[in-house]
Structure 1
Amino acid sequence: MTSLHPAVGPAPAVTAGRRPRTRRPVAPTAAAGFLALVVLAALCAPLLAPYAPDAIDLSSSLEGTGREHLLGTDASGQDLLSRVLYGARTSLIAPLLLLALAAVLGVTLGTVAAWRGGWVDTLVSRITDVMYAFPGLLFVVLIIAVFGSGITTSVIALGLAFAPTIAKYTRSIALAERAKPYVDAYLVQGMGGARLCVRHLVPNLGRSLAGYLVVLFGEALMSLATLSYLGFGTQPPSSDWGLMVQEGQAAIVQGALLPAMVPGCAVAAVVVAFNVAGVRAADRLSAKG
């Protein structure tokens, strides 16, 4: 008679003190490594760039790839590799400043709305809803039309446009944090609401907020590049990637694709890398929080 119970073999040996190795996802690791190389290249641009970013050589106009110009030249004979390396500085620092401004405004509004509740929460929610209903690009263009174009105005305008998004996210996680027992314990001890939020509640939101801001970085970079492409952001002779795409667009008619393709690929690669690495970082930070 055949037994219905499977045969039980010897238990596998377990080595004491050893944990099973967990494989890291390849895509986020590769994206993070690529971003690290981009940041390093931006910092070392004076050492890596073969030419000055504003060096004009009309005799080398619209040259293709070669030993003297690895990525070719633009219509003015400027080396594209040098311009991309120097342009990485503006293209990475500007989104960082943008998100810093948006975070200060958004976190403040979201925390106040979650803490105070009532009509304050309703007022902040209605303001953010109105900002969502209003097209973000149109809002930014209106601000630029009033205060003039330039990288400073673009950063401030986009910072104001991103603030409602961060405020909504902050409010949602702050409401959950507000309900935790330690908040009531500090209130019973006589700690004021403002002091409690600054010293305890907001710092406890730090991991979730940091992960969310990493995800938003790629969108901020793309938005600034779009404004520069439209002529509202950085102005010549800057080597900003969005401006380089706009300047290289005319050369496409002459069959020269590199002046627009090189900075365009740089923007696309960095944005995709930030999205891939950002989602992974947000998941890990949220899990630890």
Structure 2
Amino acid sequence: MTAAVPAGVLLPGPRRPRRPWGVSVAGTFLGLVVLAAALAPLLAPYAPDAVDLSSSLVGTTGAHPLGTDASGQDLLSRVLYGARTSLLAPLLLLLLAAVLGVTLGTLAAWRGGWTDALVSRITDVMYAFPGLLFVVLIIAVFGTGMTTSVVALGLAFAPTIAKYTRSVALAERSKSYIDAYRVQGMSGPRICVSYLVPNLARSIVGYLVVLFGEALMSLATLSYLGFGAQPPSSDWGLMVQEGQAAIVQGALLPALVPGTAVAAVVVAFNVVGVWAADRLGARR
């Protein structure tokens, strides 16, 4: 038998699930990385391109906390400045891919028929074609550089986002409010832009957060292969490629420091991204 609750007594509401400690650690780490990138001119002890051949391949010292590379450039300064490119470029890449992918996915889900079939065939062909090979072919035509790499990878990521958008848009399109707006005489493009796509925003943003780590790793890979950022850039992938030769001389820091930075940021984004995608999906 349940006791009656006295009048005026408020019952406690449902407790929100606590955030896992791993997500909190990863989120704090990413916040510090973004802050360090923004404050790089204030935090870096040297200019990223300052060459000092007398300090070539120096280990950790008071003057160089993370050591130097073969040219005597301070690794801490280069990693701090390189964080800007390494974080901003994936963001631009996903922005381009999201514009193309969301547009194609929404169009396929809304129109159906031959439009859906055409978009599905295009995305299937893109999936069958190795993504890295597709990117390399575009770079071979338009030349190396970070801009070309961002555009090429944006095109490579677009089919993945288009397929995901199509799947969630089909479920959203079947809801009754869509039919209500159509009965009122509202045009399809207006319904999609004003109601359908905004209602998909939570799911799409969560999915993009998951893809951020993959985008960062892909750009670092292209820079490592010589297709992305070019010297004297301090991009992390390029730093790993430049520091690889020093391993033969027993100097591990020039390759280890930027490589660790890439790995740590990718893992942190994956942890935060999976949690964010689950939370946003549940709220939707």
* TM-score normalised by structure 1 residue count: 0.94
Give the CA deviation at 1:93: 0.3
Residue 204 of structure 1 corresponds to which residue in structure 2? 199
Amino acid paired to 1:240: D
Sequence identity of aligned pairs in percent?
Answer: 80
SS in 2 for 1:54: coil
Give the CA deviation at 1:18: 3.8
Residue 90 of structure 1 corresponds to which residue in structure 2? 85
Name stretches of at least 5 consecutive residues in structure 2 with no aligned partner: none
SS in 2 for 1:234: coil
Give the CA deviation at 1:23: 2.8
Q: Deviations over 1:11-62 (max 9, x none)?
A: 9x9x945455743201111101100000000000000000000000000000
Residue 141 of structure 2 corresponds to which residue in structure 1? 146
Residue 154 of structure 2 corresponds to which residue in structure 1? 159
Tell me which of 168, 177, 185 is aligned to 1:173: 168
Residue 113 of structure 1 corresponds to which residue in structure 2? 108
CA distance in 2, matches of 1:196, 1:16: 42
Corresponding position: 1:285 with 2:280: yes
Tell me which of 197, 209, 214 is aligned to 2:209: 214
Corresponding position: 1:38 with 2:44: no
CA distance in 2, matches of 1:192, 1:235: 48
Residue 72 of structure 2 corresponds to which residue in structure 1? 77
Corresponding position: 1:51 with 2:13: no
CA distance in 2, matches of 1:98, 1:279: 20
* TM-score normalised by structure 2 residue count: 0.96
CA distance in 2, matches of 1:46, 1:52: 8
CA distance in 1, matches of 2:274, 2:110: 28
CA distance in 2, matches of 1:21, 1:149: 49
Name stretches of at least 5 consecutive residues in structure 1 with no aligned partner: 1-7
Q: Tell me the C-alpha RMSD between the 2 structures.
A: 1.6
Length, aligned pairs only: 280
